[in-house]
Structure 1
Amino acid sequence: MEEAYEYLKANFEITEEDWKIIASKMFEEKFKKKDILLEAGEQENMLSFLSKGVLRFFIPAEENKDNDITFDFMFEKKFVCGDESFLTRTPSLYGIEALSDVVLYRFTYDDLQDIYKRTGGADRIGRIAHQRLFLERSQRLYSFLKYSAKERYQNLFKENPVLIQEIPQKYLASYLGITPQALSRIRRQIY
């Protein structure tokens, strides 16, 4: 849990007192590669700090899992959840899958509400974290409108060169909005 504390301290100026309250509600949970953390149709009840690993956000295809649409990846040292479902308390429209072994520090929706009530800074942390997520998703949308698939791949690789190697090609291709064959051509051009 020390990593979560260091992240919060570095990014949000958290007090020791607030950390003690947050830490009292947090628990560690590990998932294996290919485990599903959230099924589409389930209500998200966990907010997690991704300590180790890579997660994939996907819209499941009704007829064939190979046709799932990957729309986001989450890399280490970020807060993660099926945020629409978590915030609205409705079933999730998408799933979350571990693409590698994953270590999360988690707390429930109810525990988060209690943390907000009992701390001076947690609500500010939550607001800023959601603003950052919004900005990341806005930048992703912008990149689809502005850049080619090759440029999007190169940008993703620049951001996460080590972790991107853990992502299967079919998920990268789906994320980029291209076929796996087109991704193979892009990789050949680059390397």
Structure 2
Amino acid sequence: MDEVYLYLQTHFDIPYEDWEIIASKMFVQQFKKKEIILHPGDQEDHLSFLSKGVLRFFIPTDENKETDITYDFMFEKKFACADESFITRTPSIYGVEALTNVLLYRFTYQDLQDIYKRTKNAERIGRIAHQNMFLERSQRLYSFLKYSAKDRYQNLFKENSILIKQIPQKYIASYLGITPQALSRIKRQIY
């Protein structure tokens, strides 16, 4: 839990008394590679801090997982959740999968509401974290409108070059909106 405190202290300068309340509600969960953390249609009930690993957010297109659309990736040291479902308390339109072995520090929705009531800074942290998730998704949409698939791949690689090597090519291609064959051509041009 020390890494979560360090993250919150570095980014939000929280007082230790707030941290004690936050830490009292946090629990650790591990997921194995390829394990589904949230099924599409289930309600998101957790806000998680991704300590280790890579998450994939996906939209199912049918019963065949091979044709799922990869909506987003989440890399280490960030907060993650199916935020639309978490905020609105409705079923999620997408699922969340562990692409690697994953370690999460988690809060339930109800515990987070209690943390908001009992601390000075948690609501501000939650607001900023959700604003950051919104900005990242807005930037992704902008990149689809402005940049080529090659540019989008290079930007994704810059974001986390070590962990991206652990992501199957079919998911990266889906995320970029191209076929795996087109991604292979792009990689050949770059390397």
Tell me the TM-score normalized by structure 1: 0.99
1:1-16 residue pairs with structure 2 within 5 A?
Answer: 1-16=1-16
Question: CA separation in 1, counterparts of 2:189 and 2:169?
Answer: 16
Q: Which runs of 5+ in 2 are unaligned?
A: none
Any unmatched runs of 5+ in structure 1?
none
Alpha-carbon distance in structure 1 between the residues aligned to 2:53 and 2:63 = 28
> How far apart, in 1, do the equivalents of 2:63 and 2:112 lie?
37
- CA-CA distance at 1:71 after TM superposition: 1.0
Name the SS for the 1:166 alignment partner: coil
How many Å separate the matches in 2 of 1:115 and 1:157? 36
Determine whether 1:160 maps to 2:133: no
- 2:46 — aligned with what? 46
Cα-Cα RMSD: 0.5
The residue type equivalent to 1:92 in the other structure is S
1:120-139 pair list within 5 angstroms? 120-139=120-139
SS state at 2:178 partner? coil
Q: How many residues align?
A: 191
Cα shift at 1:64: 1.6
Q: Could you list the runs of 4 or more consecutive aligned residues of structure 1 that deviate by over 4 angstroms after TM superposition?
A: none
What are the Cα deviations for residues 115-163 of structure 1, in whole angstroms up to 9, with x where unaligned? 0000000000000001111111110000000000000000110111001
Secondary structure, counterpart of 2:154 in structure 1: helix
Partner residue in 2 for 1:147 = 147
Residues 163-174 of structure 1 aligned to structure 2 (within 5 Å): 163-174=163-174
Matched with 1:187 is: 187
How far, CA to CA, are the matches of 1:50 and 1:15 in structure 2?
22
Give, in whole Å, the separation in 2 of the partners of 1:161 and 1:63. 31
Report the counterpart of residue 72 of structure 1 in structure 2.
Answer: 72
Match of 1:40, SS state, is: coil
